[in-house]
Structure 1
Amino acid sequence: MTAGLPVTCRRLVLVLGDQLWLENPALEGFDPACDRVLMIEAASEATHVWSHQARIALFLSAMRHFRKALRDQGWPVLYLALDDDNRPLSFQERLAQVLGSLRPETLWCCEPGEWRLLALLQDTAAACEVPLKLLPDTHFMCSREEFAAWAGTRRELRMEFFYREMRQRHRVLMEEGEDGRQPAGGRWNFDADNRLGYGPAGPGLIPEPLRFAPDAITREVLALVRARFAQHPGSLEHFAWPVTREQGLAVLRDFIDVRLAAFGPFQDAMWTDTPWGWHALLSSSLNLHLIHPREVVDAAQAAWRRHRLPLQSVEGFIRQVLGWREFMRGVYWLDMPQLGQDNHFGHQGKLPAWYWTADTRMNCMRQAVGQTLAHGFAHHIQRLMVTGQFALIAGIRPQEVCDWYLAVYVDAVEWAELPNTAGMALFANGGRFTSKPYIASGQYIKRMSNYCEGCAYRPEQRHGQLACPVTTFYWAFLDRHQRWLAGNPRTAMMVRNLSRLSSSERESIRHHAAYLEQRIDRL
């Protein structure tokens, strides 16, 4: 396994699969004469959750392309590929084998983006008696320490206030002036302008995003995934994700030039056979560290200043990168491991089987899950207000839902996925950083999409044979948590609407919700 390498080396740099950039702090000061890079493929990282085939392929292809980039620089890389693993070993076992045989003076690694992997590295290095040096991840615009210091001064954690400080600190979308602290356009937030559906006529012509035909390395990976992970969910038929830094930058340029202008108003809209909408498709490149968030934010801001693109679109996009993305990472490290265990409402329901197959008569779920299985992608409203909110109001156990989200999306890394799912979509942490549960009846989905057309259910009906399960579960959720929701200013109106229903109507809703729970796999 270590043929051609010396018995010992000074520094062994472990590059993880989501840390694929040459500015990785663990590579700083790298000396090819006495240091080595280690990269590990392990089936355990694909089976830790039952990962989508496209997610597995994306990580492996990006890793192998990064190996090539390192070797092109003349750097020695010890790369443990799945092809070489005749007796499947876990990531931990493969790392321990290398540490035992190579005996480096120090194991260097940029801090992992997952609590589980951090503990694994610490335990393995300690067991092998190799000193471990963890370097702060410099791929973010707010460090873990900076976020913890900000959070420590707050009674409540709210992304909006964090985002404003980040805008000021990094001079993003700020008006010129004596102090430069005024937001462009006089407003911090253009969300009110960015919640449009496509309307009855549909989305019209949306330019296709930039996609990439698999090269030789990617084709090799796709064949491997088909052979080794054939039973895993999802499809590789449409695989065309960026797997190199150059491709990630090309996607960024294409989005800025072609689709950013219309992104804002329609970022929440949904429509059948429109998987991409006006979205950027940059999260996988960002989360693999192929491109830097500063590059993304600067490109969007420069395009606004140069071309005067609509501020509502530019601000809405930057909010996702500079606001939500950085905020979620900070919350993840602040609240782990408790975040992964939280279950505010005590939900214990099983994840419906059709989350893995899209075999359901609910057209909204069939569309969102079916798109996810085909592409490994769904945008934030499909995740939050379709698959996520259904799991919340139907009482599904949060940990099962979080595992599903981590498994099925190509951009899923735990520091981003878990707080978005557990905190935002499921309210599992009781509002630690959100002011309300994100819930709505089927009427919201009807307003924001065409999913209700031709559906077996009716979004306006609360109970009965044709009642939309989303609508039934929504009203049953309000009924179940009426007292708690009435005390929250942002959900009190929902409870007032509930109070307008007769006692017999509410009883019918409860009865129908119980019926749906019993047959949830057959909805």
Structure 2
Amino acid sequence: MSAAVRHLVLVLGDQLDEASSAFDGFDASQDVVWMAEVAEESTHVWSAQQRTTLFLSAMRHFAQNLQARGWPLRYRTLDTPDNRGSLAEELTLAINELRPQTLVLTAPGDWRVLQALRAVARASGVPLDLRDDRHFYSTVRDFTAHAQGRKQLRMEFWYREMRRRHGVLMEGNQPVGGQWNFDADNRAAFGKGGPPTLPAPTRFEPDGITQGVMALVRQRFASHPGQLDHFGWPVTRTQALQSLDAFVRERLPHFGQWQDAMWEGEVWLFHSHLSAALNLKLLNPREVVAAAEAAWRSGHAPLAAVEGFIRQILGWREYVRGIYWTQMPGYLDGNALDAQADLPAFFWTGDTEMACLRDALTQTLRHGYAHHIQRLMVTGLYTLLLGVKPQAVHAWYLAVYVDAVAWVELPNTLGMSQFADGGLMASKPYAASGQYIKRMGNHCQGCRFDPAQSTGAQACPYTTLYWDFLLHHQAMLAHNPRMVMALKHLDRLDGDQRAAIRQAAQAHRVDVGAAG
């Protein structure tokens, strides 16, 4: 390693891309790569063991690749005896030892981390060269220009702009098939027979590096939630590419039709399970979108399925990143519904009688994963209706899901799920009764609660809380045209029915320890 360091190239745990902008112009004779595992990243929220293991294992595999290329690397493991425990302190130590002329960093995905690293650079008097993250189709500047003058930021308009700009699923300036989305052809329930025969999920046996990380996590974070017995996430680019190939070949043709369906005990269904690899930068979204589009053009997958999947990446993923970076730091404090309840303790254990919620929580704690409807319309719906403080909901989602990085998790939780931004993202609160869950899966069949009942011993808490939610927020929701029909149903309740619902909802809150 050269005594004089020109660039200290900082690589964070979700920037595992050898084509990253941080490596532009890298010279192994005078530059050094810096990576650090620090406890702070697992303790600023109570990070689940699956999530911490995935990040650390993927980082170590990436570091191994860099070393194989002969690139100078300063890598600090979590169990290094003098590990300082935070990125800021570890970076300060490296700067003091290596005396680089410049720090080079691809823009992080977390406002907190960016501010911490900028503060270190200022305090150390070393210039910070902050570069665009080319992993995305768009820049934050692109989204800022799109958002200019708009009171509401709807994904659909951004998605169409991105489709046109990048020529995805287009014929000239028009969308293939003559329409921008195919929701009418998608999002069906399985029916009484349940899902068809499912392909085995693409999982990977932990190698020596991953096993070492698992042992460290079990020892260091023994009190943290979740389990490691079922760990099988891709931790290398090779594995991530195998997962992409398997999804396109086996699941994509049925993705659109059943992307919103649920079934008790079925964890993986027809979803891609690629979001963690995308967010760690083991996959580039362009290659994922290209693979999906090629599947349609070859006749392997129907247009409705392919468009629905591409919209999640080219539309939604780019959109939530734009929301995050144009709205922070104030976005984190949003609480438009003034929700103040505590998060029930069973969210960390899965110990609840509500079958749909128990299934989603148990699956989450076991695998670090749940698909988007389980997140939005089971766990997220429950906390919305219960009135949990959105910052507590955010901290839980960030802690338990392996694909959770701040830029994607915060807008999805505070904006889409909890309506805490007052409608900047979502045109209405995603509020529903237990009847929605009954329609989209089979959980209600084995549950002691009846989604048709809002009061009484068999009342479904979702249904009780739904009507209570409408009652509590009626004045505010009356101005929302998408809530007109729901409020008309509310008007049919007489005074005694309203009082009984309020009483039942409060009793439930007390029962789960969430009375605010």
TM-score interval (norm. to shorter): over 0.9
* Counterpart residue type for residue 357 of structure 1: T
* Counterpart residue type for residue 145 of structure 2: A
Among residues 362, 369, 375, which one is paired with 1:370 in the alignment?
Answer: 362
* Counterpart residue type for residue 13 of structure 2: G
Q: Which stretches in structure 1 are left out of the alignment for 5+ residues? A: none
Aligned to 1:77: 73
- CA distance in 2 between counterparts of 1:136 and 1:201 reads 48
Aligned to 1:431: 423
- CA distance in 1 between counterparts of 2:175 and 2:203 reads 35
Aligned to 2:167: 171
- Measured after TM superposition, the shift of residue 209 of structure 1 is 2.1
- CA distance in 1 between counterparts of 2:151 and 2:225 reads 42
Among residues 455, 472, 475, which one is paired with 1:480 in the alignment?
Answer: 472
- CA distance in 2 between counterparts of 1:466 and 1:316 reads 37
User: What secondary structure sits across from 2:35 in the alignment?
Assistant: strand
Bigger drift between 276-285 and 458-467 goes to 458-467
Q: Is the 8 A contact 1:354 1:521 kept in 2?
A: no
- CA distance in 2 between counterparts of 1:154 and 1:430 reads 14
* Counterpart residue type for residue 289 of structure 2: V
Structure-to-structure mapping, 1:181-260, within 5 angstroms: 181-260=173-252
Aligned to 1:145: 141
User: What secondary structure sits across from 1:257 in the alignment?
Assistant: helix
* Counterpart residue type for residue 19 of structure 1: Q
Q: Is the 8 A contact 2:152 2:423 kept in 1?
A: no
* Counterpart residue type for residue 502 of structure 2: R
- Measured after TM superposition, the shift of residue 153 of structure 1 is 4.5
User: What secondary structure sits across from 2:8 in the alignment?
Assistant: strand
Aligned to 1:108: 104
Among residues 256, 259, 266, which one is paired with 2:258 in the alignment?
Answer: 266
**Per-residue CA distance 1:362-408 (angstroms, 9 max, x = gap):** 11110000000000000000000010011111010000000000000
Q: Which stretches in structure 2 are left out of the alignment for 5+ residues? A: none
Aligned to 2:121: 125
- Measured after TM superposition, the shift of residue 8 of structure 1 is 3.8
User: What secondary structure sits across from 1:452 in the alignment?
Assistant: helix
Among residues 388, 393, 414, which one is paired with 1:396 in the alignment?
Answer: 388
- Measured after TM superposition, the shift of residue 461 of structure 1 is 0.6
**TM-score, normalising length from structure 2?**
0.98
* Counterpart residue type for residue 361 of structure 1: E
**Per-residue CA distance 1:309-352 (angstroms, 9 max, x = gap):** 21110010001000100000000000001110000011110000
- Measured after TM superposition, the shift of residue 204 of structure 1 is 2.7
* Counterpart residue type for residue 454 of structure 2: R
Q: Is the 8 A contact 2:451 2:463 kept in 1?
A: yes
- Measured after TM superposition, the shift of residue 223 of structure 1 is 1.1
- CA distance in 2 between counterparts of 1:210 and 1:366 reads 24
- CA distance in 2 between counterparts of 1:61 and 1:158 reads 37
User: What secondary structure sits across from 1:79 in the alignment?
Assistant: strand
User: What secondary structure sits across from 2:17 in the alignment?
Assistant: coil
Aligned to 1:32: 28
Change (3 A) 1:131 1:347: same
Structure-to-structure mapping, 1:307-322, within 5 angstroms: 307-322=299-314
- Measured after TM superposition, the shift of residue 89 of structure 1 is 2.4
Bigger drift between 138-147 and 196-205 goes to 196-205
Aligned to 1:280: 272
Q: Is the 8 A contact 2:2 2:30 kept in 1?
A: no
Q: Is the 8 A contact 1:263 1:317 kept in 2?
A: yes
User: What secondary structure sits across from 2:445 in the alignment?
Assistant: coil
* RMSD of Structure 2 on Structure 1 (CA): 1.3
- CA distance in 2 between counterparts of 1:153 and 1:344 reads 21
Q: Is the 8 A contact 2:390 2:418 kept in 1?
A: yes
Aligned to 1:14: 10
Q: Is the 8 A contact 1:7 1:103 kept in 2?
A: no
* Counterpart residue type for residue 74 of structure 2: L
Aligned to 2:294: 302
- Measured after TM superposition, the shift of residue 87 of structure 1 is 5.7
**TM-score, normalising length from structure 1?**
0.97
* Counterpart residue type for residue 510 of structure 2: Q
* Counterpart residue type for residue 99 of structure 1: I
* Counterpart residue type for residue 470 of structure 2: L
How many residue pairs are counted as aligned between the two chains?
515
Q: Does 1:520 align with 2:512?
A: yes
Aligned to 2:344: 352
